[in-house]
Amino acid sequence: LEEQHNHDFDEPARELFVWSVLMGFKDLSMLFWEEGKEATAAALTAQMFLKNMIDMTDDADLKEELRDLASHFETLSLGMLSQCHAADEQKTALMLVRETPNFGDYLIESLVE
**Domain coordinates of the chain in residue numbers?**
39-111
Q: What are phi and psi of 90, to 5 degrees?
A: -65, -45
Percent composition of the chain: helix, strand, coil (DSSP 3-state, to 5): 75, 5, 25
Radius of gyration of the chain (CA): 16
**pTM of the predicted structure, to 2 decimals:** 0.84
pLDDT in tens, 30-83: 999 999 988 999 999 999 999 999 999 999 999 999 999 999 999 999 999 999
* Confidence category of residue 5, pLDDT binned at 50, 70, 90: low
Euclidean distance between CA atoms 100 and 65, whole angstroms: 27
pLDDT number for residue 56: 95
Residues in the chain, overall count:
113
Contact status, residue 111 vs residue 45, Cβ threshold 8 Å: yes
* Confidence category of residue 113, pLDDT binned at 50, 70, 90: low
| pLDDT for 85 beyond 90 | yes
Collect all residues with Cβ–Cβ distance below 8 Å to 61 and sequence separation of at least 6: none
* Confidence category of residue 109, pLDDT binned at 50, 70, 90: confident
Contact status, residue 107 vs residue 96, Cβ threshold 8 Å: yes
